Structures are given as structure tokens and as C-alpha cells.
Chain A
Amino acid sequence: MKQTLAQKLVARAAGRGTVTPGEIVTCKVDLAMMHDSGGPRRVKPMLERLGAKVWDPSKVVVITDHYLPAYDEESRRIIHIARHWAAEAGVQNLYDGQGICHVVLPERGHLKPGMFAVGGDSHSPTGGAFAAYMFGVGATEMLGVLVTGEIWLKVPHTIAMDFSGEIARGVSAKDIMLFLIGRFGMDGGQYQAVEYRGSAIRQLPMQERMTLCNMTAELGGQTGLIASDTVTEKYLKVKIESWESDPDAPVLAHHRFDASALAPQVAAPHSPANTKPVHEFADVRPNLAYIGACTGAKLEDLRMAASVLRNRKSKIRLLVAPASLRDQQAAEAEGTLKILQDAGAELLANSCGICAGYGEHLLPENLVAISSTARNFKGRMGAASSQVYLASPYTVAATAVSGRICDPREMLQ
């Protein structure tokens, strides 16, 4: 029986040769990732109530990223619980203040093709970029994993998103996802596995692939997957097994697109599905540009912004929150960070920050922002009256320079 990548990953975790979409299986979890907000502070009291211990502390990773930098009594307490719980539970994989969980996890070598993983955050499908089955769970479900090491799953169908050709300069993974979410809606993924394929995908570097899988959350898939290849191996710097769909394995839908025809995309408030090509927003004049989040401020994202901002100044307030400390250090070493700062960027901490509505920089009433983040839901990033336009780091940077939403392809250097 021909199997998709999703079926193969689930079958391995379920201890089966093959699995059929729609059947309910129990999977053994290879890795459970938690952050400070949905993690220790919520699972600790439940573990205590059960008198239970973590099934295998070596398979648990705790990453602080939501309440950093701690700015009040509550956030200090939440961070304190994360640090202490990790020590108490024997979890050695604690990354404290190192950046956003979805970026830090693969950066520190925790993901490998073939794995089955859960994360206590909705953007956990990011891990699927490494041909690992990874999806988000809530705190109580995480408790179940921590106690039993297992989780139930309805074997997903696969929706194939096939991009031939090559994306143009100035167009990125974020544009692909905004386009798909606009086209299929926020429930287009039907809580199935979305597999990104085709020559345009194969040419993307790992962090761009992570952006695709990350925003599978906004597309409504359970996970986003990309077959492993030499790009995966080069990023991980270890020999990897090959994990891919069998040729002609049946899929629920196979959508084909010409990547070279794709223009930069922008999603208007208050939904990532309100997407149109960038030129339709030429009259919008934001007063803030934000480059941040796991989906929009990795090293590759910072480089995109820099390719527009070099020797230019931002006309509006420009905030940059690099997604991880290592990415920030790499950006600094290669000169990318200096280009952003010379353009007027103010640097924020390597954490979720404004994207998730945390911290001290929330958007005030009526502010109009253009942002490289994943969601522009009403009130998510601050006041309910604030307006957030989502776009790629290229488009955010071009907009910062011109003061109105504009096509970055005209400004590339």
C-alpha cells in the first residue's frame, strides 16, 4: 500500500507497518516541547494532583520565550516556575532566554526526520519542515503526554500543495502561505496533514521551509510537512534517513501552482485569510513596522529585510525582535543587524513579544501596523482598535522605507 509521508511518520510512531487515513491510533511521542506560558506553570499543578512523574525527562524540552523579558510580578513568577520545574522534573533540555521555541528547537538539534513530536503551542507544525510529524496540543493534553508518553491521533489525509518553478526575488515563504490561506481559508487544511512539494519548495532554505510549516496553523492543518533532502541534512549537519511520500500515494487533494507567478501578498485586518496581492494596498500608510516572531524574524527573514533596508532609512517606527539569540548573533557577525539598525530599527528581545500579545510594547488604540508575524486577529497584538497588516519581511521593510504599503521587488538591492 502506497503511503504518504504523514502516514509513514504516524505508522512508525504507532508501531505499525501502515496506517489508513481516518483510523484512530495511539502514538509514542519522541519529543515533547513546552514553553513558559502553556508549559510548566500549567502542567505542574496537574502532575502534582496526579502524583505522577514525567515518563521520560530526556524527551522533554522546555524553552522560555513568552514572558521574556519578565516585566512584572506575574511574568517573573511564570518564568521562575519554568526554570524550577525543569530542574525538579529532571528535564535537562532547558533553553532559557535563547529565543522562540519553534526556532530554538531545531537550532539545538532536537528534531530529526522520522520523529513524532508534540509542542505546547499552535505553531508546533514548524517541526514538520524537518520531515517530523509535529503538532500543537493544549496544556491538559500535554499533561497526558508527560504522564503516559503517548497520544491519540486520527490518521490524517494529506493535502499536497505543489509549487513548480521558482519563486521570484523579493517573494518568500510568507507570501506562499498568505496566498494559500487567502485561497483556501483558515480551515482549508481541515486539520489534516498539508505537504509542501515541488521544485520551488526544494529550493527553499530550511528557515523558509519552517515558515511554510509554521503557518500551516493559520491554514488549519494539524501539521505541515516537507520531505527530507540534502537541504535538511546540511542544516542538521548529521547524516539523516530519507523520509518522503511514496510516488502516487493517494492524497485528499493535490493543488498545483506556478511559484514564479506569485506576487508579494498582504493580509488585511483581522484575518490571515484577508489576502490580496501587495499592489492592492498602496493607499495604506502604517505607522509601525514590526519584524518579529518565529514566522518572521529568523536569520533568513532578517536578511530579506536587510536586502531592502541597506543604505535606506525607515520613515516610520521600525521594531525588530530577532527570533533567536543565535540568529541575532549570526546577523550581527555578518553585518545584517547593522543594516537594520542603521535604517532606524529598534531592537527588541528574542521572544514572542508583541506577536502573541505579551510584554510591554503592545499596539495602542487605532495604530496601523505592518508585521511579519503570523496572525492579525482583532486585539491579538494590543488594542482591539489597532489594525495589523501581515506581510513578508521584504514587504514590511519596503513599507517602512516608503511609508505606505509597497512592492519590495522594486526596492531590492
Chain B
Amino acid sequence: MRTWVLGDNVDTDVITPGRYMKFGIEEIARHCLESILPDFSKQVKPGDIVVAGRNFGAGSSREQAPQALKQLGVEALIAESFAGLFYRNSLNLGLPALVCPQARRIRDGDTLSIDFSRSTITNARTGESLPFEPIPPHLLEMVRDGGLLPHLEKRLKCRTTS
């Protein structure tokens, strides 16, 4: 389990280029980040974490961008800031997007552990603990349920059984 550190303003066309949108998520994921990290999709492992600078996910509403990262097994996204639409999409897909003002202290290849109850990220290399802004309370249950679809499924089931 390792981190992949990206720069500022990494946009949705870099994450998942538009020309692949006609395909299913497995094929789209094969091209994830290919224009800046050609071997990313081959080397990323389940449990890895993607760390970025400012405005991660700028651009399109296409939720295949966070979905491709999730498909490849990425466990969480950490950034100094996220583009608003990408942030909503990530949480709606059950992929935690954590706003960490000190994200720049993380280096490519670092091993991190995330403590959701304390809203901190611990870096095994440096031993330091970086705070992140907690996921907004009204979205926490949805993220725990695995995203908006399973969350709605649960809500609709409750409605029919009650």
C-alpha cells in the first residue's frame, strides 16, 4: 500500500480522457491518468492512496473520474482542495475525498494510515500526523453505506418494510 502524489489542478480529462467515455468502467480505468503517469493503471494496487495539491478533479461532471480510481482499488483521495463537483461525485460513489491543508507534506511512495474517527492521517515515514477536514456529517452515513446508490437502496428498502 503506497501513495501516488500528483500536482495541482489535475483535471478530469487527465484522470479519464473523454475519448474513452463510450466504454465501460473497466476499459476507462485502464487509461486512468495515462497522460501524466503512463503505467499508473498497471502499477496501482488495492488500498493505495492518491494525494494531490489544489483543485483536484477540476473540469467535467463525469463521475467515471473518481469511479476509475475506485475501480483500480484506490482507497481514498487526499488533496489540499478538490473541485466541488468532483468532491460530490467521489463521496456519492463511496470513495472518501479528504481535504488536508498540509497534503503537500506527503511524498510519493509514503505509507499512510487514515483515522476517520480522529480525522487524522499518519505518515509512517515521518511519523507526523496531519489533520483533515471531517466528511460533512450529513454525508457520513452515505459514505459508510458505500455511496448514494446503496444508501438509497437501504432507504427505499426501509420504506417498503416499515
Bound: A46/B36 CA distance, A: 32
Bound: A52/B36 CA distance, A: 40
Q: Considering only CB atoms, which chain A residue lies closest to B54 in the complex?
A: A187
Whether A24 and B136, one on each chain, are in contact in the complex, defined by CB atoms closer than 8 angstroms, is yes
> Which residues from A are CB-within-8-Å of B63?
38, 42, 138-141
Whether B149 and A138, one on each chain, are in contact in the complex, defined by CB atoms closer than 8 angstroms, is no
Q: Considering only CB atoms, which chain B residue lies closest to A66 in the complex?
A: B21
Q: A187-B83, A358-B18 in contact; A46/B149 too (CB < 8 A)?
A: yes
> Which residues from B are CB-within-8-Å of A264?
none
Interface residues of B in 1-53 (CB under 8 A from A): 9, 11-14, 17-19, 21-23, 35-36
Whether B129 is near chain A, meaning CB under 8 Å from some CB there, is: no
Whether A55 is near chain B, meaning CB under 8 Å from some CB there, is: no
Whether B13 and A377, one on each chain, are in contact in the complex, defined by CB atoms closer than 8 angstroms, is yes
Whether A114 is near chain B, meaning CB under 8 Å from some CB there, is: no
Query: Considering residues A120, A152, A186, which has the most beta carbons from chain B within 10 angstroms of its beta carbon?
Result: A186
> Which residues from B are CB-within-8-Å of A49?
149, 153
Query: Considering residues B13, B35, B138, which has the most beta carbons from chain A within 10 angstroms of its beta carbon?
Result: B13
Query: Considering residues B18, B58, B61, B149, which has the most beta carbons from chain A within 10 angstroms of its beta carbon?
Result: B61
Whether A375 and B14, one on each chain, are in contact in the complex, defined by CB atoms closer than 8 angstroms, is no
Interface string of A144-176 (1 = CB under 8 A from B): 100110001010000000000000000000000
Q: A50-B156, A358-B18 in contact; A38/B55 too (CB < 8 A)?
A: no
Q: A122-B61, A122-B85, A186-B55 in contact; A50/B153 too (CB < 8 A)?
A: yes
Q: Considering only CB atoms, which chain B residue lies closest to A77 in the complex?
A: B22
Bound: A136/B83 CA distance, A: 12
Interface class of chain A by DSSP: loop
Whether B60 is near chain A, meaning CB under 8 Å from some CB there, is: yes
Shortest A324–chain B CB gap in Å is 20
Whether B13 and A379, one on each chain, are in contact in the complex, defined by CB atoms closer than 8 angstroms, is yes
Chain B contacts to A: CB under 8 angstroms: 9, 11-14, 17-19, 21-23, 35-36, 54-55, 58-63, 81, 83-85, 87-89, 92-93, 136, 138, 147-149, 152-153, 156
A72-B22, A377-B14 given; name 15 further pairs at CB < 8 Å: A38-B62, A46-B149, A49-B149, A49-B153, A52-B156, A75-B22, A119-B61, A122-B59, A135-B85, A137-B61, A143-B149, A220-B84, A357-B18, A357-B21, A362-B19
